[in-house]
Structure 1
Amino acid sequence: MSLFSTIQIAKNSLVAAQMGLQVTSNNVANANTPGYIRQNLVLTPAPTQRYGGLLLGLGVSVQAVVQQTDRFLEERVRNAASDLANSQAQEDTYVQLESLIGELSDTDLSTGLSEFFNSIHDILNQPDSASVRNLAVLQGKTLTDDIRRLDTRVREVRDNVNDQIGAAADEINRLLKEVSTLNVQISIAEGGGAVASDAVGLRDKRSQVLTQLSSIIDIQAVEQTSGDVTVFSGGDYLVFQGTFRPVTTVTKSDRDLNSYEIRLAETDSPINTSSGSLAGLISSRDNILGGFLDQLDTFTQNLMFEFNKLHSSGQGLTGLSEATSEFAVNNTAAALDQAGLTFNPVNGSFEVLVRNQQTGLTTTTQVRVDLNGLDGDTTLDELAAAINNIDGISAIVTPNRKLEIKGDSQLVTFSFANDTSGALAALGVNTFFTGSGASSIGINKTVQTDPSKFAASGGGIGEDTAIAVKLANLLNAPLASLGGSNLAVQYDRFVGEVTQGASVTKSVAEGFRVFHGTLEGQLLAVQGVNIDEEAIKMIAYQRAFQASARVVSTISELLETLVNL
């Protein structure tokens, strides 16, 4: 043991203090840098040296510069971020959907329904007024415009969400590639685990990338001894060392709409993510928006068919001179309930009323619609033939497989009554509403052109308001097709489900926000830079440097004295 060895010990101490000051300065400089993880200098005593019968220390040794973090807590924060992104995506969708519905405003669909059915009540007060019937037709057109507009806007939101799903694939690939690249750089920097220090800057960046990735899909990041991480999602590995498995987007059809699905390009298997913004967007597209479109379509179809069943059995102030069914069948020789109609008729009958304008006489003929499931069920060809046998009118099946009925002369008009089969409404004869759902609902051009043909009577042309009474009360009338419920309840139910779903999703999202914030605060307490602590460390390293310098100065004086002896 010599004075020169003591100088070496002091030199190591100076180096350790200098490196400590550098690490502390780096921490202070990055105190406000997003994603920065606090660094620590790891010091250990140097190996001992035997001097005679003594074991003397050789000073301090700098072992490593490492990040101060908690890997388990990091993983929990990433999982919480995935759950939060999932709930926030659904919350945002509900906000947009509620805004489109606009319930309790002056432009909501319930207001349009009320105004339409109220306008039919006015017909009861003035049954002979064509202008009152015209107002009912206009209110009906306003209602159909509102339904189509709502359907269109919800579809636009759904398409936007679908585009976001498609864009997520590119973002996932970018992040996966970045993780694999950083894996290689970290492994090289750390020597595959041979170097005790962390590749701190690279690890900071990789941690940020993993956090971004976890906000899109739920992932599990497992760190290997070599310093790289293996990334899994739903049991499939996405990143292994310096390689990654890219995802791709395929288009499928859902409810006659294009839908993107993200799959692993290598195996063509879907990414089964239960959390992250991708899961939230998929749920928003398929369940929230898609489900609402389904319910809106179902409500609209029920409204159309139930209203049309009544209207097609009624008569207006004037009769019809001709009528062509709106809907075509797939096969004119097939039973009507098996012919591909949007609305299916049932076993029953209807009456055809033929009126001679010159004599004022009306003849009534019953037309049977046999759909009991036994042999001889009524086809469109047979229905046309049965109507064609009625004196005064002719009926044919057109080349495009529709039913066409005409009066044999200008003196003959016809109408319908007591349709228990729903065949007229299913075919689209003498109906008020046209279309097959929320996206296509409209008003029959015959009624729009001549509101006097609004079918308010049930006992003959212009005779009474029996049908108008039923139409006016239809919104709140119990319906067998709805299990005894009514249209108003059905509407309130599916709009209420949106409100309830929005409330629940908002509560869940708020819970995840609080939970994620708590975990993030805990992680920040571990990883974040505390200026007060760094200031104390800085003073400690400064004093250690000064003391070590003083040791060097003292030994220098001793050596000078020794040389001068």
Structure 2
Amino acid sequence: MSLFSAIRMASNTLRADQIALQVAGQNIANAETPGYIREEVILKPAPIQKLGGLPMGLGVEVAAVIQKIDHFLEERLRASVSDRAGAEVREQTFHQLEGLIGELNETDLSSDLTRFFASISEILNQPESTSARNLAVLQGQTLTQNIRRLYERVNQVRSDLNSRVDDIADRINKLIEDIRRLNIRIAETEGGDVSQSDAVGLRDQRLQDLEELASLIDIRVEEQPSGGVAVYSGGFFLVYEGTARQVSVARRSDRGLAISEIRLDETNSPLEVNSGELHGLLVARDSILGGFLDQLNEFSAALISGFNQLFSSGQGLTGFSTVTSTNAVVASDIPLDSAGLPFPPRNGSFQIQLYNTQTGTIRTYTIRVDLLGHTPKTTLQDIADQINAIDGLSASIDAGGRLTIRSTSSDQVFAFANDTSGLLAGLGINTFFTGSNAGNIGINPVVASDPSKFAASRGGIGADTQLAEELAGFGDKPLDDYGGLSLHELYDRMVAEVTQGSAIAKAEADSARTFENTLRGQKLAVSGVNLDEEVVKLIAYQRQFQVSARFIKTLNDLIEILVSI
């Protein structure tokens, strides 16, 4: 080997050691940098040359600078990030819902129900007292206000989650565009040949973007020969090397809320997600909170319809001179069971009791509601005609489809009894509650303005408290329309499902966090910077650099000797 070949060999070694020292320094400098992947120098023997027929090496050279990364582990980690993000959204939603229900304090609906039915029991002790009936009305107002408040607050949380869905669409678009641009820059930097050095800084940034995207939606990542990646969600690709597909937000109505749905612009197809923050938000908004609202509506409907059907067959301390239904039909000539009433009636009848306040005489009339299939079904106009046939009463239907009944004599009042059809409850005549669900439940303004109209009697106006006994026990009465469950059981089931769902969501979130932390530990072992190892490498490369420098000095001395000869 000539002296110049030896100098070239030493130069190659110095250059390789210099790069190795720089990489070790880079690792040490970024030991605490989030998302940094440890870099490694790949060395290989330099090309050989022949001298006098003998192959002689030219030292060492740097083949590449690459990241120490386990791509399979990265894929598992991204999946665990998606699972954890979705589970945490569900966990947080259940926690909020439990706080709104407030079952462990004295302002929950269970306590309101107990106080309401207890106030009705007080009427039994003071049957002639308007104040006792007024207390029942006030407790009913508190109950309905708290039901509406709970409904509105849960709906507000749904709206907040929906706003986060809108925000996620923007974040997805930004991330996939960032990944697309990084794909191009990485391909340009690496020359499209993955056997060469990695574009380490750019790849670190892309890994972070991929993990952030995985926290939003579940994705599948495939690296391409060019160094770019293809990113898939469901059956669609979002990024393919230098191409990206944007998403947008579409609206649709669900339970009275205009909810957002993320769609792929190019195909106008909903983005299919099974995990990630977006999936967690959709489940929380539509299933957890939406499902709770469905149950709250069911509970409220059971309270309104069941209580009103009892209440409408009773009498208060005073009768009516005029009354107007709170609910309307879509048309007066349509059969009542398909006329758009919130609680459709059934075949049966109800009674109207006409009282002469001067003579004390009582006349009772039966109003038939025929809704069987083999006969012409009763319409609201038919009901008005039957009432108009009664001497002393008149009935009319306004343009809005509401029925008004009036006494035609100033010395006569009327009351209702024995409704087997449920029509009075459906129309909202002689009822206590108004509305049809948790969002619009209220107290009938007739009773609210005149508590003496609170129906506690079954035997006539102010005659007894038989109905009050039934109303006070309504909370524990099995309801045929709800599988034999009582009102209290419907409420307990609703709360129990929230409590159980919360416990399951917390367990799933804890499990997802634990699994993610385990995978991050494994990643740290593979891709993290170990300062002890880097210091050892630093010393080794430093000594090698020093020896190479001394070798060059020796060669330089030999050249000087040759020159001086």
* TM-score tier (shorter): over 0.9
What's the CA shift for 1:553?
A: 1.3
What is the 5 A alignment of 1:521-560?
Answer: 521-560=521-560
Q: Which amino acid aligns with 1:174?
A: K
SS at match of 1:484: coil
Name the structure 1 match of 2:112. Answer: 112
Aligned length: 565
Query: In the aligned structure 1, how far is the partner of 2:374 from the partner of 2:212?
Result: 63
Once the two structures are superposed, the pairs formed by residues 136-535 of structure 1 within 5 Å of their partners are 136-193=136-193, 196-535=196-535
Tell me, what secondary structure is at the counterpart of 2:288?
helix
Residues in 2 aligned to 1:134 and 1:477: alpha-carbon distance in whole angstroms: 24
Give the C-alpha shift of residue 560 in structure 1.
2.2
Q: State the Cα distance separating 1:466 from its structure 2 match.
A: 1.1
Separation of aligned partners in 1, 2:410 and 2:538: 106
Aligned to 2:96: 96
CA apart distance, 1:61:
1.1
Deviation at 1:195, TM superposition (A): 6.5
State whether residues 12 and 58 of structure 2, in contact with CA within 8 Å, keep that contact through their aligned partners in structure 1: no
Distance across 2 between alignment mates of 1:519 and 1:373: 67
Q: What letter matches 2:30 in structure 1?
A: N
Q: 1:550 to 1:478 in 2, by over 3 A?
A: same
Distance in 2, Cα, partners of 1:482 & 1:54 = 97
* TM-score of the pair, normalised by structure 2: 0.99
Structure 1 position 359, deviation (Å): 0.5
Deviation (angstroms), 1:373: 2.2
**CA apart distance, 1:53:** 5.0
Cα deviation for residue 411 of structure 1 reads 0.9
Per-residue CA deviation, residues 52-96 of structure 1 (Å, 9 max, x unaligned), is 453322110111111111111011100100011111111111111
Match of 2:21 in 1: 21
TM-aligned CA deviation for residue 485 of structure 1? 1.6
Matches within 5 A, 1:43-122: 43-52=43-52, 54-122=54-122
| Aligned amino acid, residue 49 of structure 1 | Q
**Does the residue aligned with 2:99 lie in a helix, a strand or coil?**
helix
Per the TM alignment, residue 564 of structure 1 is displaced from its structure 2 partner at its CA by 3.0
Residue identity in the other structure for 1:546 = Q
Residues 144, 441 of structure 2: 8 Å contact kept: yes
Give the 3-state SS of the residue equivalent to 1:64 in structure 2: strand
Q: Deviations over 1:104-124 (max 9, x none)?
A: 211101000000000001111
Contact kept, 8 Å, 2:194 with 2:227, in 1: the verdict is: no
CA contact (8 A) 2:68 2:527 kept: yes
Deviation sequence 1:290-326 (CA, Å, 0-9, x none):
1111110111011001000011100000111111011
CA deviation map 1:20-72 (0-9, x unaligned): 11011111111111111111111001123333453322110111111111111
Q: Which amino acid aligns with 1:88?
A: E
Q: 1:194 to 1:473 in 2, by over 3 A?
A: closer
- Tell me the equivalent position of 1:2: 2
Q: Are the equivalent residues in 1 in contact too, given 2:319–2:461 (CA < 8 A)?
A: yes
Distance 1:286 1:391 in 2: 55
Unpaired runs of 5+ residues, structure 1, are: none
Q: Counterpart of 1:36?
A: 36
What letter corresponds to residue 248 of structure 1 in structure 2? S
Change in CA separation of 1:126 and 1:424 when aligned onto 2, cut-off 3 Å: same
Q: Distance in 1 between matches of 2:8 and 2:484?
A: 96
**Contact 2:321/2:413, CA 8 A, preserved across alignment:** yes
Partners in 2 of 1:35 and 1:68 — Cα distance? Answer: 13
Residue deviations 1:3-26 (CA, integer Å, cap 9, x gap): 111111111111111111101111
What CA distance in whole angstroms lies between the structure 2 residues aligned with 1:43 and 1:100? 63
Give the deviation of 1:507 after TM superposition.
0.2
| 8 Å Cα contact 2:194-2:225 kept in structure 1 | no
Amino acid at match of 1:111: S
Residue type at the aligned position of 1:452: S
Per the TM alignment, residue 256 of structure 1 is displaced from its structure 2 partner at its CA by: 2.4
CA distance in 2, matches of 1:428, 1:265: 48
Matched to 2:412, the amino acid is V
CA distance in 2, matches of 1:194, 1:366: 91
Amino acid at match of 2:383: L
Partner secondary structure for residue 11 of structure 1: helix
User: How far did residue 402 of structure 1 move?
Assistant: 1.0
Instruction: Judge conservation of contact 2:14–2:545 (CA < 8 Å) in 1.
Output: yes
Q: Tell me the distance in 2 between the aligned counterparts of 1:184 and 1:137.
A: 71
| Amino acid of the structure 2 residue aligned with 1:177 | E
Superposed CA offset, 1:173-219 (max 9, x none): 00010000101100100111177000011000000001110100111
- Residue aligned with 1:192, SS: coil
Q: Which amino acid aligns with 1:289?
A: L
- The amino acid that maps onto 1:15 is R
Q: Which runs of 5+ in 2 are unaligned?
A: none
1:392 is displaced (CA, Å) by 1.5
Larger deviation: 395-404 or 498-507?
Answer: 395-404
- Aligned-pair CA distance for 1:482: 1.7
The structure 1 segments of at least 4 consecutive aligned residues displaced by more than 4 Å after TM superposition are none
C-alpha distance after superposition, 1:500-546 (max 9, x if no partner): 00100100010000001100110111111111111000000000001
Contact 2:309 2:424 in 1 (8 A): yes
